[in-house]
Amino acid sequence: MVSTFIGLTQQVEMFEKEVAPLSEHKITLEWERETDSFSYESYNRDHVVIFEGGVRVPASAAPAYRGNASHVNPEEALVAALSSCHMLTFLAAAAKKQFVVERYSDRAVGFLEKNQKGKLAITRVVLYPRIEFGGATRPTADQLASLHERAHGDCFIANSVTTEVTVEAE
């Protein structure tokens, strides 16, 4: 009788091959105390988020939580991620249907509310996309609604959160 023993390293490698992600998305976050004391009232909320390509984004808490209003806050970043993902997925869907998009803008709004567990959360985000089409063929109202439905259904970020996302196209 021959017994085989697979070491932990080989087990991890086999597991990683079975569940390997399609892609990874990494950031670096840096914060350093800038105050003499460290209490809820005194510590600084400003920090920097550094993306893989080198872009540095100044970030902070929302002003309501003693943050810096001139920096992006996590709540805004979540709303921006949902809006951006919807737009990028919409553009892909429109291109595949051979509709030419000339311009796309959105003025998305996220709502910080108590969720079903009584915890504060961005429970809802409403997207207000405005799209200008060019080219010979413009989508009908039904086709436009279908493009938004597809964009929402295929958006990686919307599929990753429990936040209710509504599209109210203009």
| Residue 44 clears pLDDT 60, i.e. is over it | yes
pLDDT at 170: 77
pLDDT-derived band at 11, boundaries 50, 70, 90: low
Q: Which residue has the higher pLDDT, 8 or 153?
A: 153
Secondary element (H or E) of residue 9: helix 8-18
The 10s digit of each residue's pLDDT in 73-83 is 999 999 999 99
The 10s digit of each residue's pLDDT in 116-141 is 999 999 999 999 999 999 999 999 99
Rounded CA gap, 163 and 108, in Å?
13
The pLDDT > 90 percentage for the chain reads 85
| Residue 167 clears pLDDT 60, i.e. is over it | yes
Q: Which of 8, 6, 155 is nearest to 84 (CA)?
A: 155
Query: E strands of 35-139, at which residues?
Result: 47-51, 56-59, 100-105, 109-114, 120-127, 130-134
* Mean pLDDT of the 31-54 span: 96
Superfamily name with CATH number, domain 74-167: K homology (KH) domain (3.30.300.20)
Domain positions in the chain are 23-72, 74-167
Report the 10 Å Cβ neighbour count for 87.
20
| Residue whose structure tokens are 């914060």 | 31
* Mean pLDDT of the 139-157 span: 96
pLDDT at 20: 76
Q: Which residue has the higher pLDDT, 154 or 170?
A: 154
* Mean pLDDT of the 108-123 span: 96
**Model pTM?**
0.85
In sequence order, which residues have a C-beta less than 8 Å from that of residue 84 and are 6 or more positions away? 157
Rounded CA gap, 160 and 76, in Å?
17
pLDDT at 161: 94
pLDDT at 12: 60
